[in-house]
């Protein structure tokens, strides 16, 4: 994955999983490190993807 777009691709994948109902409303998501391993990216990429989904209103930051 190109570094500039890696977080967008991860966000797209997570967005699709959220919309498919993989995690019910209020469910705790797996850790950043787990997503990083799953998608083969660094934790900073995963963090940026999650922040994008918070901005979009799909996730709630805690």
The predicted pLDDT at position 61 comes to 78
- For residue 15, CA distances in Å to 46, 49 come to 13, 10
Quick one: CATH architecture of 3-55?
Orthogonal Bundle (1.10)
Q: Does 10 have pLDDT greater than 90? A: yes
In the chain, what are the domain boundaries? 3-55
Q: Does 2 have pLDDT greater than 90? A: no
Q: Does 57 have pLDDT greater than 90? A: yes
Question: Comparing C-alpha atoms, which of 7, 57, 56 is closest to residue 32?
Answer: 7
Token pair for 62: 């805690």
The answer to whether 39 and 46 have CB atoms below 8 angstroms apart is yes
Q: Does 3 have pLDDT greater than 60? A: no
Q: For 22-45, what is each residue's pLDDT tens digit?
A: 998 888 999 999 999 999 999 999
Q: Does 62 have pLDDT greater than 80? A: no
Token pair for 46: 């995963």
């Amino acid at each position: 994955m190109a570094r500039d777009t890696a977080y967008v691709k991860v966000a797209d994948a997570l967005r699709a999983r959220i919309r498919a109902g993989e995690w019910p409303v209020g469910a705790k998501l797996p850790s950043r490190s787990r997503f990083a391993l799953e998608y083969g990216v660094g934790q900073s990429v995963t963090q940026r993807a999650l922040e994008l989904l918070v901005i979009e209103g799909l996730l709630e930051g805690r």
